[in-house]
A and B are shown apart, each in its own frame.
Chain A
């Protein structure tokens, strides 16, 4: 029986990159069909194939790493580089929306009245729910650190408890934002103020949901004994992503909610 003479992971052929790319095509063309031809079929098909791809691809990675031992230290290092680069790309994504916000708010046009917030816009009080949201996310950063240390110290119960607290705080944030969106006196259609506000906070909220889901998967894996005290990269990736989401919120709070009011 032949064995590989190196510590790298030669991944078996997989259909998921193809199904992922096809789902991306279906989603983009599906959006066009929805916007311009009043049909949601392609979009729904795209979303379903996208979710199926994610589920199966990441399931395979867990199988390869946790059950088949392919994630040696050098493979793990590559995964770390990958996650860091991905988060950097997300930072650049948000940079665009912040650029749009500052471009519009630093030199408000005459159509808006020449001032910011524009005429007729009553911004949200930054010291009410937005401040609560800040406390919620900062608290979740503390609890996810508690979770990490618990994993490092082989404390199963505390790791589970800490993850539950973190995910609950993420859910609380999401519910608060949905409520804020519904109660807000201004909408996305209310000048460039509404556009920048809802694009930036909307994408952020989407990322909170992604981060909470990632942490939830970590909770399921922790319950199933996948993580060891010195090998738990999936959790670390989730924690890094969560901190990133927290930092984006802090920028949103200071720029849009506070300075922008």
Chain B
């Protein structure tokens, strides 16, 4: 059985993403990290925080397909989801405050 050419994989995904770089070394990838990747993260961070603001809380409509409770949860009073946020998550009976 021919052995799989796994040696090429030991070089990692060096030539994947961001196009071909031929013999791109550590210096190139460090440059990409600090000049492209991290600034993009910074821009997206700024964009997110600028758009954060106070979102309008949707009006409560007692839809039957939402806030499903077929069995009580195994924590708390059994009626709150794990990441329950009283400000934006209504219970089956409506918002808590």
Contact = CB atoms under 8 A, between A and B. Distances in A.
A179 to B, nearest CB: 10
Contacts of B16: 243
Interface residues of A, number: 57
A148 interface: yes
Contacts of A183: 85, 88
Nearest to B26: A149
Contact of B58 (A122, A181, A189): A122
Contacts, number: 149
A35 interface: yes
B93 interface: no
A129 B48 contact: yes
Nearest to A149: B26
Contact of A135 (B18, B30, B44, B63): B44
Interface residues of B, number: 51
Q: Which of A121, A129, A132 has the most CB of B within 10 A?
A: A132
A88 to B, nearest CB: 13
A87 to B, nearest CB: 12
Main secondary structure of the interface of B (DSSP, over half): loop
Main secondary structure of the interface of A (DSSP, over half): helix
Contacts of B32: 142, 146
Given A135-B41, A139-B33, A148-B12, A184 B88 contact: yes
Contacts of A129: 48
B26 A142 contact: no
B68 A182 contact: no
Interface of A: 34-35, 38, 77, 80-81, 111-112, 118-122, 125, 127-129, 131-132, 134-136, 138-139, 141-143, 145-146, 148-150, 152-153, 155, 158, 162, 165, 169, 172, 178, 181-191, 233, 236, 239-240, 243
